[in-house]
Amino acid sequence: MFKKILIANRGEIALRVINTCKEMGVQTVAVYSDADEKAIHVLSSDEAVCLGAPEPLESYLNIDKIIKAAKDTNCQAIHPGYGFLAENYEFAKRCEREGIVFIGPGSKAIKDLGDKITSRKLMVKGNVPVTPGLTSTEADVDVMAAEAKKVGYPVLIKATAGGGGKGIRIVNSPDEMADACASASREALSAFGNGEIYFEKFFTEARHIEFQILADTFGNTIHVLERECSIQRRHQKIIEETPASVLTPELREKMGAVAVAAAKAAGYVNAGTVEFLLDAENNFYFLEINTRLQVEHPVTEMITGIDLVRQQLEIAAGNKLSLTQEDIMGRGHSIECRIYAEDPANNFFPSPGKIEFLKEPKGPGIRNDCGAYSGFDVPVDYDPIISKLVVHAQTRSQAIDKMIKALKEYIILGIRTPIDFLLDVLMSEPFSKGDVFTNFIETHFSDWEENLDEKDIAAIAYVVDELCNKRTKTDSVAHVAPTPFNTLGNWRL
């Protein structure tokens, strides 16, 4: 096993990796930008190296600086987390050249699977069903429109090098094609340096089902059950759960076998995720393979008891998988809610700033992978995720109840978060019934507005009063237990 690894990431995922490393006796080196000098992953690691300015290209996306940091601190391996350089094949290739172990798949697999067209061709060759659409890039709008007519509208324009909801546009008719192609290509070029696009059939009533996979260098590949990830905003997941209530044991076995076949077709090693689209008739189609640890991996860990980060390190160290497919069993139900610094009432616009007060929910079956704390400034430069709130219970209904309780106990003051929005989703009848599809938010919550109850109004009145400087020392009330509302001074919601 490695003696020391560098974590080329920040926030809650860096802390997640650090925690497993501590259990395994592996030393960790954190990297950070000037904006993250007091970040929790920096405070929790054994060593830390400053990369420089907050801009990602000067810090977390700077391959030269990260490689130098790993060498200067004598690290044997690098864990990329997710985001930033996690799916950058040039970074993995550089690690290979420098003799540093990249904790993830090989650079060739990352390159092949990072290009949507190449990955679709690999899956077709491996007899894995893919969504109807193009298997090559296309720049001619007329050709795109003609091919889309054959498949049937609506279609989804996608960036070949895309991910994270970037470079995606829904096209409902031929007259929308030109504008959709142009805007998707521009966004893709800006986000990935590659403006090439193609299209797939868009299913209005579909579910996003993904399978966690593990593969070692000895040819052993297994799946670690599925995750239901259909609750999305702007093509990004916000609520995930497992097991998927729509899957029968037979369908789960069939999709799991195809996920393993997909990983083998790509020559995949380490942890990854095979994503499928499941239509109303329970036909499923390959979407992509994410060549990294997923944000939603904790729900899989909760029902299986398997530490996926530990598995990543063991595989990267050259060890054989200690698990077989027969060993994989799920117990109970788990749900994850992503807590971002964002405003759901303003199209989920980022809400960076200082967290004046943070109180995490606690209790049996509650896990909060958090990358922030009271007083921490959420930077404007990076993805605004604060934490992943996860619960586990015996049944889905019990898990929903537990998550509702946990969200109600989660206090974050000073910035906007989607906690109230998530509560409304979890308490809605369609979610309770399991009627979740990728268009769930647009269908049921497109006009969502925050519900200000008496407590909220009282808090606002207090803030206004504080800002107006109308309170005096004689206004204080004795024998009242201190709360964030009367101990923080001037602050804003």
Pairwise CA distance, residues 142 & 125, whole Å: 28
Torsion of CA 132, 446, 422, 205, to 10 degrees: -30
pLDDT of residue 192: 83
Instruction: Give the 3-state secondary structure of residue 208.
Output: strand
Residue 164's pLDDT is 67
State the average pLDDT over residues 302-315.
98
**How far from 284 is each of 140, 155, 199, 255, 372, CA to CA, in Å?**
29, 17, 17, 8, 38
DSSP-derived 3-state class of residue 367: strand
pLDDT band at 451 (very low <50, low <70, confident <90, very high): confident
Residue 453 pLDDT greater than 70, yes or no: no
Q: In whole angstroms, give the CA distance from residue 45 to residue 27.
A: 8
Q: What is the pLDDT of residue 475?
A: 43
Q: What tokens appear for 200 in the block?
A: 């797939």
> Does residue 469 come out as left (phi exceeding 0), alpha (psi in the -120 to 50 range) or beta?
left
CATH of region 4-103? 3.40.50.20
This prediction's pTM: 0.87
DSSP, residue by residue, 272-293: EEEEEEE-TTS-EEEEEEE-S-
Q: Are 196 and 167 in contact (CB under 8 A)?
A: no
Which three-class secondary structure state does DSSP give residue 15? helix
Rounded to whole angstroms, the Cα distance separating 41 from 17 reads 9
Task: State pLDDT tens for residues 28-59.
Answer: 999 999 999 999 999 999 999 999 999 999 99
Smallest CA-to-CA distance from 333 within 276, 399, 280 is with 399
> Prior bond to 154 cis, omega within 30?
yes
Q: Is the pLDDT of residue 491 over 70?
A: no
| Lowest-confidence segment of 63-72, 123-132, 317-326 by average pLDDT | 123-132
Nearest Cα residue to 32 out of 15, 338, 220, 24: 15
How does residue 469 score in pLDDT terms, banded at 50, 70 and 90? low
CA distance 162 to 160: 6
Helices 419-426 and 396-409 cross at an angle (nearest 10°) of 150
Give the confidence band of 402 by pLDDT, cuts at 50, 70, 90. very high
Quickly state the pLDDT bin for 205 (edges 50, 70, 90): confident
Residues 95-118: tens digit of each pLDDT: 999 999 999 999 999 999 999 899
Residues 167 and 88: their CA atoms lie apart, in Å, by 17
Flag whether pLDDT at 297 surpasses 80: yes
Mind listing the pLDDT tens digit for each residue in 223-277? 999 999 999 998 889 999 999 999 999 999 999 999 999 999 999 999 999 999 9
State the pLDDT at residue 444: 95
Average pLDDT, the chain: 92
Task: For residues 291-302, give the mean pLDDT.
Answer: 97
Task: Give the lowest-confidence range in 226-240, 307-321, 388-402.
Answer: 226-240
The topology (CATH level 3) of 207-444 is D-amino Acid Aminotransferase; Chain A, domain 1 (3.30.470)
115-169 pLDDT tens trace:
989 999 999 999 999 999 998 999 899 999 999 999 999 999 999 987 767 899 9
- For the domain spanning 131-201, the CATH number is 3.30.1490.20
Residue 460 has pLDDT above 70, yes or no: no
Query: Which one has a higher pLDDT value, 469 or 193?
Result: 193
Contact 316, 270 (CB under 8 A): yes
For residue 430, whether the previous peptide bond is cis, meaning omega lies within 30 degrees of 0, is no
Q: Would you list the domain boundaries of the chain?
A: 4-103, 131-201, 207-444, 457-487
The rounded percent of the chain whose pLDDT value lies above 90 is 85
- Which pLDDT band, with edges at 50, 70 and 90, does 190 fall under? confident
Contact residues for 265 (Cβ-Cβ < 8 A; gap 6+): 122, 123, 125, 126, 128
Cβ 373 vs Cβ 358: under 8 Å:
yes
Does residue 284 surpass a pLDDT of 90? Answer: yes
- Note the pLDDT of residue 339: 98
Which tops the pLDDT comparison, 336 or 461? 336
Q: What percentage of the chain reaches a pLDDT higher than 70? A: 91
Indicate whether 468 pLDDT > 90: no
The pLDDT score that the predictor gives to residue 490 is 55
> Distances in Å between the alpha carbon of 224 and those of 119, 217, 233, 272, 365?
22, 17, 26, 10, 20
Q: Residue 473's pLDDT band (boundaries 50, 70, 90)? A: very low
Q: Which two tokens stand for residue 429?
A: 């009848």
Q: What is the pLDDT of residue 457?
A: 58
Spatial separation of the C-alpha atoms in residues 209 and 278, rounded to whole Å: 7
Enumerate the active-site residues.
292
pLDDT at 484: 58
Contact call for residues 303 and 243 (beta carbons, < 8 A): yes
- Evaluate if residue 479 carries a pLDDT over 50: no
The 8-class DSSP code of residue 433 comes to H
